[in-house]
Amino acid sequence: MCLISAGEVTVKVEGEAGVGGRNQQFALYCAERIVGENVTVLSAGTDGVDGNSESAGAVADGTTVERAGKECVTNALRRFDAGAVFSGLGDAVLTGPTGNNVRD
């Protein structure tokens, strides 16, 4: 099954944020909920830019938390630093700016 959804998620950043944006934060949030499942989540912006990172978003799956480490994921979510996790895993979506903003 493939579920495609459009729109823009909202993330309320509290305090000083790390690297990333709402798409990477959402993907990492989902990663905690799909641990061990055969599920993949892709969250990216059509404009190629997610927050203060160089990526458009990220891909998370049932192995993301295990590969990154549970404590790393928990801390990244709290610090709004999901971009660092996905960059380190090689799971960031890098397109460069597209000049097109249809939505996420």
Report yes or no: 28 and 77 within 8 Å, Cβ to Cβ: yes
Number of domains in the chain: 1
| Interval 3-52: pLDDT, tens | 888 888 888 888 888 999 999 999 999 999 999 999 999 999 999 999 99
What's the pTM? 0.93
Query: Which residues constitute the domain of residue 58?
Result: 22-93
Q: Residue 42 belongs to a domain with what CATH number?
A: 3.40.1480.10
For tokens 């480490």, what's the residue?
A: 69
Q: Tell me whether residue 6 is in a domain.
A: no
The span from the CA of 61 to the CA of 43, in Å, is: 12
